[in-house]
Chains A and B, each alone.
Chain A
Amino acid sequence: MTTPYILMALLGGAALLLPVLQATTVERFTRRSAGYFTIAVLLAALAIVLYPVVSFTAESGGPTSAVFKSDLMALFFGVAVLLVAIFVTITSLEYQQDDPNISIFYSLILFTSLGMTMLAFAVDLLMIFVAWELMGLPTFILVGFRKKDPASSEAAVKFFILGALSSGILLYGISLLYGVAGSTNLYAVVDAMSTLSPALMPMGVVAIALLIAGFGLKLSAVPFHMWIPDAYEGAPTTVSTLLAAGTKKAGFVAAIRVFLISLPLFQMDWTVAFAVLAVLTMTLGNVAALTQRSMTRLLAYSSIAHAGYILMGLAVAPFTSLGIVGALFHVLNHSVMKSSAFIAAALVAYKAVGTHLDSYKGLALRMPFTAIVLTIALLALAGVPPLNGFWSKLVIFAAAVEGWPGVWWAPWLALAGILNSAFSLGYYGWIIKRMYLDEPGQTSKVIEPIIFRIALFIGVLIIIITGIYPAPIYEFARMAAASL
């Protein structure tokens, strides 16, 4: 009940405090300690989010008139996004250490974490929009954080235009929804929709189309994906991690809530739309990833493909309860897998080995630890058993098959997903082959900093443990889906 308010006080307060600390204390002191302070705050936030889960005090399903609802669904996404934020902060301790405005950097990470967690808890269109902006605005600045680097500022302009357009379209969609329903509370919108006069029906459909477009822009679904790889490539790689694994996932929670709670009347309209979007998104993501020569671009396209898998779970959600379970499970798994892969790529780029795929040749000899972690993360992304990505993809594909009596296209959706998954193994395997089988251009060993090792080790540990013993997280996802 009070969880989101405590989080607001904690994360918001810490985010406001950090720049003040930088201005008032010795610079040498703040440089490192600002990072440790941020990690401590994020860990505290994670504990606050986990507390209602372990003490079984999460709110049950059903309508509420409040703007926040701390049900298991919100807590699940809270855990996922805070984990990513912690990974990013740990990595930034080393990656961003020469930045003069490091406190601002951490402050923005805290603000966007607050936006992501608020979005997870919000059940009112007004609060969803405010959280959406709070999540988006700091990321625009973070992408362009390297002011001197032309690539960074170009990425920031492109990412800002996409983000601003997404919130504009979302806002217009919300205004239409408010017009037909007379309320912004999601549950009140449901009630109003069920007694809607046929004359207002077209307006409702347009509102949904606009909401899909607005969310789709943030989720980088096709056809809104075009500048996303540019943004990920130009941004500092730690920030790309936050975007691919964090804010995009938080976008999904809003999409899930809005479409599953408030719009059951238009089921047919949006399930077909989501199914088409899902197939296009994963196919385009995988095909484009195959042709990339830059590791960050490849990972960006791969995360577009994974957004497609998650959309697939949403598309069959009205016909089987497994759909949302699979989508949630994959959201958490993908957060960890993509964070690990991006952090490994960040380390390779940071040590000036490069981002071009050819610089990964023979990496196993130069950076053995990074190569192993990257291999495991890529195999998990491809969905190879017994890693975590396998189980969540399995649940999503099973859900698509199970949706069959409800909709005729469900088995085809599953087939498209399986083909895509097999196809993606091609380019992931290619990178692994470069790292282990190709001759390196240089043979000198590269030092792998301890901070990166810690982040990578935690990531890989979660990947393997979830892979071997997926039951607890699957159960968490199942209960979260049931709490809607």
Chain B
Amino acid sequence: MMESLLSYFLVSSILFGIGVYGVIAKRNAIRILFAVEIIINAANLNFVAFSRFPPSPNILGQTFALFSIALAAAEAAVGLAIILVAFRAHDTVDVSQLKKLRG
């Protein structure tokens, strides 16, 4: 049993790593948004795996995953809208090109 939890956890850790790498290394705002979505999905995988396997299986994790899927969708909607507006104003979605504001 524990082995299967471990494999889920391994996958979610790798996903989390990919997400953090994407946020840090990529300059395209859409890619960064996708990287954040990967982090959120890594967490969702954790929630579902922890709610299914020992040490303490219970239904709470699945509830949490459902909530976070809904919130991630809302976040993506807001994020894409903001990036779209920024694209209209700047003609780019490259965050390193967005440097009007610099002290």
Where the two chains meet, the residues of A that have a C-beta atom closer than 8 Å to any C-beta of B are: 125-126, 129-130, 133, 137, 140-141, 144, 147-151, 153-158, 160-161, 164-165, 167-169, 171-172, 174-176, 178-179, 181-184, 192, 200, 229-230, 233-234, 288, 291-294, 297
Residues of B contacting A154 with CB < 8 Å? 86, 89-90, 98, 100-101
When A133-B74, A176-B46 are in contact, do A230 and B90 touch as well, CB less than 8 Å? no
Residues of B within 8 A of A292 (CB): 103
Q: List chain B residues, Cβ under 8 A from A183.
A: 56, 58, 60
Whether B79 contacts A160 by the Cβ 8 Å rule is yes
Docked CA distance A179–B57 (Å): 9
The smallest C-beta distance from A252 to any residue of chain B, in angstroms, reads 21
Q: Contacts A126-B67, A172-B46 hold; do A153 and B78 have CB atoms under 8 A apart?
A: no
Q: Which of B50, B75, B86, B100 contacts A144 (CB 8 A)?
A: B86
CA A178 to CA B68, docked complex, whole Å:
14
A156-B56 in contact given A165-B36, A291-B103 (Cβ < 8 Å): no
Residues of A contacting B95 with CB < 8 Å? 157-158, 161
Residue in B40, B57, B100 whose beta carbon sits within 8 Å of that of A150 in the complex: B100
List 9 tightest A-B contacts by C-beta distance, closest first.
A182-B56, A168-B39, A175-B46, A179-B50, A153-B86, A230-B101, A150-B89, A171-B43, A175-B43
Q: List the B side residues contacting A294 at CB < 8 Å.
A: 103
Q: CB within 8 A of B47: which of A137, A141, A178? A: A178
A178 touches B102 (CB 8 A): no
Q: Are B39 and A171 in contact (CB under 8 A)?
A: yes
Using A154-B101, A297-B103 as known contacts, list a sample of 10 further A-B pairs with CB atoms less than 8 Å apart, ordered by residue number in A.
A140-B78, A144-B82, A157-B93, A160-B79, A161-B32, A164-B79, A169-B20, A172-B42, A181-B56, A182-B56
The 6 sampled A-B contact pairs (Cβ below 8 Å) are A125-B64, A129-B67, A130-B67, A157-B86, A165-B23, A175-B12
Which residues does chain A contribute within 8 Å of B90, judged by CB atoms? 150, 153-154
- Cβ of B69 to closest chain A Cβ, rounded Å: 11
Contact check, A178 vs B60: say whether CB atoms are below 8 A apart.
Answer: yes
Task: State in angstroms the CA–CA spacing of A110 and B76 once bound together.
Answer: 21
CB-defined contacts of B78 to chain A, threshold 8 Å? 137, 140-141, 160
In this complex, the interface size class of chain B, counting residues with CB under 8 Å from chain A, is 35 or more
With CB as the reference atom, state the residue of chain A lying closest to B20. A169
A151 near B75 with CB under 8 A, answer: no
- State in angstroms the CA–CA spacing of A174 and B58 once bound together: 15
The interface bits of chain B over 4-42 (1 if a CB of A lies within 8 angstroms of the residue's CB, else 0) are 000001001000100110010000010011001001101
Whether the Cβ atoms of B40 and A171 lie closer than 8 Å is yes
- Identify the interface centre among A137, A161, A192: most chain B CB within 10 Å of its CB: A161
Chain B residues with Cβ below 8 Å from A229 are 101, 103
| Chain B residues whose CB sits within 8 angstroms of the CB of A144 once the complex forms | 82, 85-86
Pick the most buried of A137, A156, A168, A291: most chain B CB atoms within 10 A of its CB: A168
When distances are taken between beta carbons in the complex, the residues of chain A under 8 Å from B81 are: 141
**Cα distance A288–B47 in the bound complex, in angstroms:** 41
Residues in B whose Cβ lies below 8 Å from that of A140: 78-79, 82
CB distance from A228 to the nearest CB of B (A): 11
Point out the residue from B39, B64, B67, B82 that lies within 8 Å of A141, measured CB to CB. B82
| Shortest distance from the beta carbon of A295 to any chain B beta carbon, whole Å | 11
Asked if residues A147 and B85 are in contact (CB atoms below 8 Å), the reply is yes
Whether A184 contacts B79 by the Cβ 8 Å rule is: no
Contacts of A174 in B (CB 8 A): 43, 64
Query: Bound state CA distance, A297 and B101, in angstroms?
Result: 10
Asked whether A168 lies within 8 Å of B43 as measured between CB atoms, the reply is yes
Chain B residues with CB under 8 Å of A158's CB are 95, 98
Roughly how many angstroms separate A168 CA and B17 CA in the complex, as a whole number?
12
Please indicate which of the listed interface residues B9, B71, B89, B93 has the most CB atoms of chain A within 10 Å of its own CB.
Answer: B89
Is B19 a contact of A184 with CB atoms below 8 Å? no
Complex Cα distance, B24 from A287, in Å, reads 26
Q: Which of B9, B43, B74, B88 has the most CB of A within 10 A?
A: B43
Partner of A129 from B12, B71, B79, B86 at Cβ < 8 Å: B71
Please state if B101 and A233 are interface contacts (CB–CB under 8 Å): yes
Q: Is the CB of A153 within 8 A of B82?
A: yes
Across the interface, do B103 and A129 meet the contact criterion of CB distance under 8 Å?
Answer: no
| Least CB separation from A200: chain B residue | B55
Complex Cα–Cα for A157 and B85 (A): 9
A148: which B residues are within 8 A, CB to CB?
Answer: 89
Task: Report the Cα distance A150→B68, complex, angstroms.
Answer: 31
A183 to chain B, nearest CB (A): 7
| Closest Cβ–Cβ distance, residue A31 to chain B (whole Å) | 23
**Residue picked from B33, B40, B90, most chain A C-beta under 10 Å:** B40
B75 surroundings in chain A (CB, below 8 A): 133, 137, 164, 167
| Assembly CA distance A176 to B16 (angstroms) | 12
Q: Which residues of B contact A155 (CB under 8 A)?
A: 101
Measured CB to CB, the closest approach of chain A to B25, in angstroms, equals 13
B51 (CB) vs chain A CBs: closest residue: A178
Instruction: List residues of chain B with CB within 8 A of the CB of A200.
Output: 55
Contact of A172 among B43, B88, B101 (CB under 8 A): B43
User: A130-B67, A164-B75 given as contacts; is B82 within 8 A of A172 (CB)?
Assistant: no
Q: A156 contacts B85, CB within 8 Å?
A: yes
Q: Is the CB of B50 within 8 A of A175?
A: yes
Verify B64–A126 contact, CB threshold 8 A. yes
B61 touches A178 (CB 8 A): yes
Of the candidates B20, B32, B93, B98, the one having the most CB atoms from chain A within 10 angstroms of its own CB is: B98
Residue contact B102 to A230, C-beta cutoff 8 Å: yes
